[in-house]
Amino acid sequence: MRTYEKIETLYERSMEGKKQLIRGQWRNKTVEMLKDIQWDWTEKVDGTNIRIQWDGHGVSFGGRTERASIPSHLVNRLNEIFGGEESAQMFEQLFGERQVILYGEGYGNKIQGVGKQYIPDGVDFILFDLLIGENYQPRESVERCAKAFGIRAVPVVGTGTLQEAEEYVRRHPQSLLGDLPMEGVVCRPVEELLDRCHNRVIVKIKYRDFKDA
Helix (H) or strand (E) holding 204: strand 203-206
Q: Does residue 68 have a pLDDT over 80?
A: no
Q: Is the pTM of this model over 0.85?
A: yes
Confidence at residue 48, expressed as pLDDT on a 0 to 100 scale = 96
Alpha carbon distance 180, 171 (integer Å): 14
Q: Does residue 65 have a pLDDT over 70?
A: no
Going from the N-terminus, what domains does the chain have, and what CATH number goes with each?
A: 12-44+157-209 (no CATH), 48-153 (3.30.470.30)
Strand partners, 162: none
Confidence at residue 63, expressed as pLDDT on a 0 to 100 scale = 84
Q: Does residue 210 have a pLDDT over 90?
A: no
